[in-house]
Amino acid sequence: KAGVTQTPRYLIKTRGQQVTLSCSPISGHRSVSWYQQTPGQGLQFLFEYFSETQRNKGNFPGRFSGRQFSNSRSEMNVSTLELGDSALYLCASRDSYEQYFGPGTRLTVT
């Protein structure tokens, strides 16, 4: 099976812009989670989607949103970007109790 894929791998945006990141899970996995990772804060949970519904949500502002499509592919959107949003954004798909990560999208906000 193909692994989790994320696009794009690298992105540079300007403060105030918005960005959309994409994730394709492992075939058959219905759960997709998003994480933000920064050197100072570690791995922070954003949200999880299961069968097109948000199942769990972390403690992030409303500027961070996501959705999942009927084929389980997921997108996350960050509006009104801030410098502090610069991070590695990781997507993970999950079967019953194991989670598998994609390579991540490195977002730099200038």
* Residue 93 found at the interface with other proteins (CB under 8 A): no
Of residues 55 and 63, the one with the C-beta less far from other proteins? 55
* Residue 106 found at the interface with other proteins (CB under 8 A): yes
Total Cβ atoms within 10 A of residue 12: 11
On the CB side of 77, CA atoms within 13 Å amount to 10
Report the site for other proteins in 20-49 (rule: CB under 8 A): 33, 42-43, 45, 48
* Residue 88 found at the interface with other proteins (CB under 8 A): yes
**Residues at the interface with other proteins (CB under 8 A):** 4, 33, 42-43, 45, 48, 55-56, 88, 90, 92, 94, 97-104, 106
